[in-house]
Amino acid sequence: MKTLLSFCFAIFIATSLFSQEKETKIDAKAVPEPVMKKFMAFYGDVKKVKWEKDSNNYEATFKQNKIKTSVLLTADGNIIEKEWEIKKTEAPKAVTDSITKNFAGYKVEEFSRIEKGGMTTYEAEVEGKKDGKEIEMKLIYSSDGKLLMKTEEKEDKKEKKKK
């Protein structure tokens, strides 16, 4: 049962990450009315919002109470996912311990808490070197410190400087 749950988490997260790959920036005027209504009902006090769209969903990114936040909604206004940037000290100890143990030498650039489908996961964006190349990874953890997903982006220093 535990293995099945972990597998479901991994598929769930993989689907989320894949859908985020195709996002394009859009103007707030292009956001459908049901999406905007739901967003305004929950976040009407937010002033600066950046909108992105993938083939089916809309993502709003903004700061609320000085915390970088994003909300992913379907075209009919249902909230799929919420994500908040958090401090390392706010991440569960099991997550930070796992990163320290399994990714020694990597620097954590950012932590986020993600709520999706009634589940809470934690994302750590880390940087380090592997085989002489700069590596950026996104690590997704359950709150008990189990690594659910790891995605890697390899770049050498010359390519990174060009960006």
Q: Domain segments of the chain: what residues? A: 24-82, 87-162
Tell me: pLDDT of 1 over 90: no
The predicted-structure confidence for 64-76, as pLDDT tens digits, reads as follows: 999 999 999 999 9
**Four-point Cα dihedral 48, 86, 75, 22, nearest 10:** 100
The pLDDT, as a whole number, for residue 3 is 52
The pLDDT, as a whole number, for residue 2 is 54
Q: Phi and psi for 115 in degrees, rounded to 5?
A: -115, 125
The predicted-structure confidence for 75-131, as pLDDT tens digits, reads as follows: 999 999 999 999 999 999 999 999 999 999 999 999 999 999 999 999 999 999 888
3-state DSSP of 85-126: EECHHHCCHHHHHHHHHHCCCCEEEEEEEEEECCEEEEEEEE
The CATH topology of domain 87-162 is Nuclear Transport Factor 2; Chain: A, (3.10.450)
Beta-strand pair 67-74/57-64: antiparallel
Q: What is the mean pLDDT of residues 132-148?
A: 95
The predicted-structure confidence for 5-58, as pLDDT tens digits, reads as follows: 444 444 444 444 444 456 799 999 999 999 999 999 999 999 899 999 988 999
Cα 80 from Cα 3, distance rounded (Å)? 24
CATH tag, 24-82 = 3.10.450
